[in-house]
Structure formats: C-alpha cells, structure tokens
Amino acid sequence: MKVLVVDAGGRGNAIAHAFSRSDRVKEVFVAPGNAGSEFFPKCRHVEEVPSIRAIEEIVNFAKREDVDLVYIGPEEPLSLGLVDRLEEEGIPAVGPKKEATILEASKCWCKDFLKRIGVPIPEYKNFDDPDDAKEFAREMFESGKKVVVKADGLAAGKGVFVCDSLDEAYFAIDEIMVRKRFGEAGNRVVIEERLYGIEVAFTAISDGKTVKPFGHARDYKRAFDPDDVDGMREFYIGFFKRFITKAEAERLYREGKLLNPNTGGMGAVSPHPKLNEEIERRIMETVVEPVIEKFRIEEGKVFKGVLYPVIMLVEENGELIPKVLEINVRDCDPGAEAKLPRLESDIAEISLAVIEGELENVEIKFSKDYCVAVCAVSGALKGREGLKPGYPSDHYTSQPIEGIEEAMKQAIIYANGIAKPNGYVTTGGRVLTVVGRGKTLEEAREKAYNAISKIRFPGMRYRKTIGLDVPD
C-alpha cells in the first residue's frame, strides 16, 4: 500500500511513523512534511507540495503517485474541503468532509449543538455585538464566575482567552471583535464560564456509525514551567520591549501578573495519568457517542475521521463529570506524538475500516507503556533584528541544530519544524518533539529528558516539568 499523510509538523511525522510500522504499507509520503519525515523507514518528505493549504497540488500528487489512501492531520485542509476533493477523484481519505468540520470551525455553532443534544458543557452565550458580550462578562464576574472568551472561527489555536479579571475579558472582546485580530473568525464570540478540573486531550475515531476510543493524553499548554520566573521575564522583555529587573519580575509573579502564555502545546503524556477505564467509558457515553450519532441523525452530517474533544473533568458530588471545552475534527498535537507510538494495532487497517464503514470489526489497542513528549522550541534570542521573545510569539528561525542523531539513540524524534539545506536548521516555533517511552511514567520522562539534553540550537528552550503533576 502507498499512503499519503498531509501535515507539516510533528503530528504528521508521528502518523507517518505509525503507518511505517504496518506490514501492508510499502511507502509513506508526507506532504508537505519536513526534513524529519525521513527519520523513519519507508517515509518520504514531499517537497513539491508547498503547504497544507495547497489543495490542488495535494490532490494532483495523490493522483500521480496513485496512493491507496490519504490521512489528513491538521484542520485547515479539512475545512478547505480536501476530503471532498479527494473523494471526487476517487481517492479514499481519512478525515471529515468540509461540512463536518463545522464542529471545530464554528465554536458558536458547536456550543449550541452540544447544548441541544444534552452533552455537558460550561454555561455560555454567543454574541455578535461587543457591548452585549461585555455586559454578559460583567454579569458573570459579578456572580463570582470567571470567563473564557473565544473567537468563533479558526484562529490557529490563538483565539481563546482564559480571563482572570473583567479587564482581561474586555481586552479579549476588543481584540477579537473590535480590532479583528483574527479577521472574520472574530465576527462572533463565545463567552463561557471558566471551569477548574483535570483537562484531558481525548481522541476517538469514527467511520460515521461506529466510534472507538483512539487514545488520550495530558497536554501541557503553558509556555513556561509554573515557577520559571527567569523564562517568563525574558519573554516579557522581548514581547513588550521593556526591560524589567529580576526583582520586578519576582513581584509581578507574586501578584500573578507575569505572563505565562498559552501555546499550541509544549509537551504531552500518554496515557493521561488521571484516566481509568471507567472515566474513559463515561467520556465515550456522555460525549463522543452522542456527538457522532446526533450529528448524523439530527444534522444529517457524517463524521469520518479522528474526533478530539477537549474535556475538563469537573468534580461534582464526589464524581468526575466530563464537560466539553471544545471539539476538534482531527488529532491533537503534541498529544498524537505521545499517543501514537503506543498504538499496537495497524493504523493502515484502522484507516481502511474507517473508509469502508467497517470500524465495528476492528480492534484498536494501545500498549500500557507511557510516552512522554517534550517539545524543543525557539526561545528568546538576540539577533540581527534585536531580542525576540520566542515561541509562541516572534522568534528566529534558520538556527543550526546539533545532536539529533545522538538523541535518537534514546528516544523517538518527531520534527515539528526543521529543514536540511546542509545540516539541520530550525524553521518554526516548535522545532523537535522528543518522545521517551517506558514501563513507568518516570522511566519515560527520564529517557525523554536525557535525549533532549543532547540537542542544541541557539535559543533552544524546553519545559522541565512535562510528565509532572504541576498546575498548567
């Protein structure tokens, strides 16, 4: 079998690696992929596809190479209708059609849908007027609740503002709706109650009728370890272009005012350390199964592919109730990098079953081992254009990377953003995801951290607390 994986980052390389382990698979193309796609046997990086948005180039490549199936990683090509285009050409694909991406592409629509079908969610309201949104945020704070403000549309993971104060909520509403930082995606907002609990990156896979668990992870989203005042200080100076002393940074930190930005993810652990079979079953029964079923029956839309609800387990009367924060129509990143090495079943067989509507007859099994994935990112660095704060904000690229081969002796390396003009260089904010595997979480952590310590590039930074039970 010839497989085409569409993705540019670490998640795509983890998917390609899973296909490369299948005896049925002869060749895996990753489009556009990156220089790290070729770390794995059978895998090839497709340089002629310029980006994940180049729908026609992807379709043409799939036709020319006569691939047997296409597996799509990110939401953007899905919401641009890549699966619809591939099916028109008779090429089977794993991923939802354009109309089914509405679950992720409109947070307002998704919240209304979840409410209508009785899936537990935080209290919320949708708004298309900033003044009304502010009034609701004020009422929430007055009744002792904090809020989260979310742009309705796709905003590359940046459209969510978790607010500690009413001022922050006003700022978020202005950013999204008035200053239109995310363009049209900010025509509407969801304002919802901020929940506290255990956050889970839960995934499931469906052929439209049957849906099965597809692994879970704990995702670490904050850029810095919770006590990394030096790191947050450097970021602050680079971001606001204003020098602060160590003492000032300490004071801001104590007052809870030192920014620890949200990222797309700085690392992940799979399985989620707090999940057990009972909670997994509850998530399937109260969230995943109703979403797939009601989406088909009540909305007339079939969901085929990986569904990734972000769940908050909230304690109520001594029980953990799963509440949905959002739904994604694709696998998580870097959760997939921590999860997929543990997949023991054949991903090619699972994919064919999804395409043919036969998922019912396939077993999906994960190893009991732990995987800890730690992301090496482009951190604060002084260069030709002065000091840049680093990921998730402005950062330098094209920095030479050393030590990848050494690190590979102890861990799996999924490249998020690298190129190889001569030696390896950085091309993005997230650069490499280093995955340690072990019988215990501690063993997996040790391997990941030993391996990542062999890697060096100017400005390189990573969190030290991935796998630990720290507030995030």
Judged by the rule CB under 6 A, the positions of this chain that interact with ligand AMP are 122, 148, 150, 160, 162, 192, 194-195, 199, 221, 310, 325-326
Residue 50, preceding peptide bond in cis (omega within 30° of 0): no
- Measured distance CA(117)–CA(111) in Å, rounded: 10
DSSP conformation letters of 124-152: EEEESSHHHHHHHHHHHHHTT--EEEEES
What values do phi and psi take at 223, rounded to 5?
-65, -35
- Measured distance CA(88)–CA(84) in Å, rounded: 6
- Of 333, 366, 410, 433, the residue at the interface with ligand GLY (CB under 6 A) is 333
Count of chain residues binding ligand GLY (CB under 6 A) = 7
CA distances in angstroms from 330 to 15, 73, 248, 355, listed in the order given: 12, 6, 42, 15
* Closest to ligand GLY by CB, 73 or 231: 73
1 binds, among ligand AMP, ligand GLY, none (CB under 5 to 8 A by kind): none
Please give the structure tokens belonging to residue 147: 């809020």
* Closest to ligand GLY by CB, 396 or 462: 462
Looking only at the bridges linking them, the beta strands covering 370-378 and 460-461 are: antiparallel
- Measured distance CA(337)–CA(334) in Å, rounded: 5
* Closest to ligand AMP by CB, 260 or 410: 260
For residue 121, the minimal CB distance to ligand GLY (Å) is 18
* Closest to ligand AMP by CB, 123 or 248: 123
- Measured distance CA(293)–CA(286) in Å, rounded: 12
CA distances in angstroms from 426 to 10, 48, 234, 404, listed in the order given: 13, 20, 20, 12
- Measured distance CA(378)–CA(392) in Å, rounded: 9
Binding mask 256-295 for ligand GLY (x = CB under 6 A): --------xx------------------------------
* Closest to ligand GLY by CB, 335 or 389: 335
Picking from 197, 190, 195, the residue whose alpha carbon sits closest to that of residue 137 is 190
For residue 218, the minimal CB distance to ligand AMP (Å) is 11
- Of 7, 207, 219, 337, the residue at the interface with ligand GLY (CB under 6 A) is 219
* Closest to ligand AMP by CB, 60 or 171: 171
Binding mask 140-159 for ligand GLY (x = CB under 6 A): -----------------x--
* Closest to ligand AMP by CB, 86 or 325: 325
333 binds, among ligand AMP, ligand GLY, none (CB under 5 to 8 A by kind): ligand GLY
* Closest to ligand GLY by CB, 219 or 280: 219
* Closest to ligand AMP by CB, 195 or 284: 195
* Closest to ligand AMP by CB, 58 or 147: 147
Selected range binding ligand GLY among 164-172, 271-279, 328-336, 363-371, rule: CB under 6 A:
328-336
Picking from 275, 310, 276, the residue whose alpha carbon sits closest to that of residue 291 is 310
Residue 429 in contact with residue 377, Cβ under 8 Å? yes
- Tell me the residue number closest to ligand AMP, measured at CB: 326
Q: Which residues of 346-375 are buried (b: 16+ CB within 10 A; e: fewer)?
A: bbbbbbbbbbeeebeebebebeebbbbbbb
For 319, other C-beta atoms within 10 Å of its C-beta total: 10
- Of 55, 119, 332, 431, the residue at the interface with ligand GLY (CB under 6 A) is 332
For residue 264, the minimal CB distance to ligand GLY (Å) is 5
Residues in the chain: 472
Torsional sign, CA 293, 296, 297, 298: positive
265 binds, among ligand GLY, ligand AMP, none (CB under 5 to 8 A by kind): ligand GLY
For residue 45, the minimal CB distance to ligand GLY (Å) is 22
Selected range binding ligand GLY among 60-68, 176-184, 325-333, 436-444, rule: CB under 6 A:
325-333
- Of 34, 101, 286, 328, the residue at the interface with ligand GLY (CB under 6 A) is 328
326 binds, among ligand AMP, ligand GLY, none (CB under 5 to 8 A by kind): ligand AMP
Three-class SS of residue 217? strand
For residue 263, the minimal CB distance to ligand GLY (Å) is 8
As a dihedral over the C-alpha atoms of residue 17, residue 18, residue 24, residue 30, rounded to 10 degrees, the angle is -50
Amino acid in the structure at residue 352: L
Number of H helices, E strands in the chain: 16, 22
For residue 207, the minimal CB distance to ligand AMP (Å) is 25
For 450, other C-beta atoms within 10 Å of its C-beta total: 15
* Closest to ligand AMP by CB, 162 or 252: 162
For 403, other C-beta atoms within 10 Å of its C-beta total: 17
Selected range binding ligand GLY among 29-37, 143-151, 159-167, 326-334, rule: CB under 6 A:
326-334
Which residues of this protein are in contact with ligand GLY, per CB under 6 A? 157, 219, 264-265, 328, 332-333
